[in-house]
Structure 1
Amino acid sequence: MIVDPLFYLVAIPAVLIVGISKGGMGGGLGMVAVPIMSLAIPPFQAAAIMLPILCVMDLIGLWGFRGQYDRNNLRILLPAAVLGILLGALSFSYLTEQHIKLMIGLIATLFTLNYAWQKLHRKPEKITQADTVKGSFWGTLAGFTSFSVHAGGPPMNIYMLPQKLDKTLFVGTTIIFFAVVNFTKLIPYLWLGLFDSTNLMTSLALLIFAPIGVYFGMYLHKRVNDFWFYMACYGLLFVTGVKLISESLFSV
């Protein structure tokens, strides 16, 4: 396992932040783990270490939000996400992490800026519903970007947030979606040889912080009203979008 103290100095907060996000705060911070851990290790190693931890977090979230989900959205999103994961695995050798970060960062940032512009001009917000075409597109993109850098949150939020679902229904739906995505990703990660003994033992060492983060996220979820919940989700979407753009343009 990794023994560098600098790695754990950044990895432990990263795991806690992701746990809080997945525990009921919309998943907006779920994508920061790989960039933070990349301060100490290569990005794809960070992704491999995080994946088993994400799977454990998903299991906790599934229990905490059991029975709370939108069936119509999942019926559209899940097959598309599996297709996106397949495309990500097949293009693993051709697309760099910077390409993926720039693409998803631009989409997330432009979406939230458009939302802010509509609010500033007091335009009525259009509430959408589950849509096969839109859901298939964003679900595929979420699966694709989630494969390489665990950055499936922005595409998922872009599709789901305008529907204005009840916050518990929203979180329960995203938990099921990412549980299926993350457990499916285990197969190509094994196939590509990303799970060596060093990565797996490091995942095991960090695993204790997964339930701590998730349960704290559940605690916050019950104490934040719908208005502030959605404000936080859009805000986190913007911050992560800007961060991804900066990482793609200025990483060395």
Structure 2
Amino acid sequence: MPEVLDLTFFAFAIPAVIFAGVSKGGFGSGAAFAATPLLALILDPGAAIGLMLPLLMLMDVTALKPYWKKWDGPSAWALILGAVPGVVLGGLIYKAVDPDLFRLLIGLVALGFVAFQAAVKLRLWTPSGRHLSDRAGRLAGVVGGLTSFISHAGGPPAAVFLLSRGLDKTTYQATTVIVFWAINLMKFIPYAFLGIFTWQTAKADLFLIPFAVIGVWLGVWAHRVFSERAYFALTYALLVVTGGKLVFDALT
């Protein structure tokens, strides 16, 4: 963290936090983690994830009420149960493994899934029609828990699984809200033990709390106003952008 919370810091941090809040609130779901790479342009990666976690937890709580009990239970449980060993593994290897490896893998998964969906839409590929199983969901949860721990990048694995289940936009969003509420709770104590939180990140969070809440409210409003087609089109577009950003960051 910079010693002084100056204009440059807030010029990056405020848009990043509002964007994450809009995504958490239900518009462009799964792309909230893109805020972390933006902050990493001006902060050490460890400081960026330490700054974002309390704000993401606040966003989770703010978003729970409008989506309460609207989630798909089996899908949510599959992801949450898988995330437990993923978060544990993330805590064990956090300081030993280059985060770029995880950025590369998750970015390729996100881009590959969008390419697959495009092939289906263009009738270049005819799928079997089966949704991904709960076992696949648990695997996605492991990957999501691990990458969420490393860089808050658990959105794409969850999106790959949930988009395959044929959920409507509200059920989809509610499921991501409850899943990442649980995953972020799991991450808090390990982050504290690893020294990822600092007094400086806590001080910055106090200034950014209003923007986190505003972002969520904007996301809930946009979720209700825009059509399901527009919602999922934006979700796929953001998967391309964020997946490409992760791959670019990993390779450069």
Which bin holds the TM-score, normalised by the shorter protein? over 0.9
Is it true that 1:166 corresponds to 2:168 in the alignment? yes
Is residue 30–residue 176 contact of structure 2 (8 Å, CA) maintained in 1?
no
Is it true that 1:67 corresponds to 2:61 in the alignment? no
Runs of 5+ unmatched residues, structure 1: none
Q: 129, 134, 141: which one pairs with 1:132?
A: 134
- Aligned partners of 1:11 and 1:142: how far apart in 2? 24
Runs of 5+ unmatched residues, structure 2: none
Shift in alpha-carbon separation, 1:65–1:41, aligned structure 2, 3 A: same
Q: Which residue of 1 aligns with 2:14?
A: 12
Cα offset for 1:4? 2.6
- Aligned partners of 1:172 and 1:28: how far apart in 2? 12
Letter in 1 for 2:91: A
- Aligned partners of 1:92 and 1:184: how far apart in 2? 15
Is residue 127–residue 164 contact of structure 1 (8 Å, CA) maintained in 2?
no
Q: Which residue of 1 aligns with 2:105?
A: 103
Q: What is the Cα-based RMSD across aligned positions, in Å?
A: 1.5
Query: What is the percentage of aligned positions where both structures have the same residue?
Result: 36
Letter in 2 for 1:8: F
- Aligned partners of 1:206 and 1:48: how far apart in 2? 13
Is residue 25–residue 218 contact of structure 2 (8 Å, CA) maintained in 1?
yes
1:181-239 deviation digits (Å, cap 9, x = unpaired): 01110010011011111111111111110110000001100112222211111111111
Cα offset for 1:121? 2.6
Shift in alpha-carbon separation, 1:150–1:58, aligned structure 2, 3 A: same
Higher mean C-alpha deviation, range 52-61 or range 204-213? 204-213
When normalised by structure 1's length, the TM-score is 0.94
Cα offset for 1:122? 5.9
- Report the 3-state secondary structure (helix = DSSP H, G, I; strand = E; otherwise coil) of the residue aligned with 1:7: helix
Cα offset for 1:130? 6.1
Shift in alpha-carbon separation, 1:72–1:190, aligned structure 2, 3 A: same
Summarize the alignment of residues 1-252 of structure 1 with structure 2, pairs less than 5 Å apart: 2-121=4-123, 123=125, 127-129=129-131, 131-250=133-252
- Aligned partners of 1:127 and 1:48: how far apart in 2? 41
Is residue 49–residue 202 contact of structure 1 (8 Å, CA) maintained in 2?
yes
- Aligned partners of 2:237 and 2:171: how far apart in 1? 20
Shift in alpha-carbon separation, 1:218–1:128, aligned structure 2, 3 A: farther
Higher mean C-alpha deviation, range 88-97 or range 24-33? 24-33
Is residue 2–residue 202 contact of structure 1 (8 Å, CA) maintained in 2?
no
- Aligned partners of 1:60 and 1:234: how far apart in 2? 24
1:1-57 deviation digits (Å, cap 9, x = unpaired): 742321111010000000001101242321111111111111110100000000000
When normalised by structure 2's length, the TM-score is 0.94
Higher mean C-alpha deviation, range 197-206 or range 152-161? 197-206
- Report the 3-state secondary structure (helix = DSSP H, G, I; strand = E; otherwise coil) of the residue aligned with 1:195: coil
- Aligned partners of 2:130 and 2:233: how far apart in 1? 17
- Report the 3-state secondary structure (helix = DSSP H, G, I; strand = E; otherwise coil) of the residue aligned with 2:225: coil
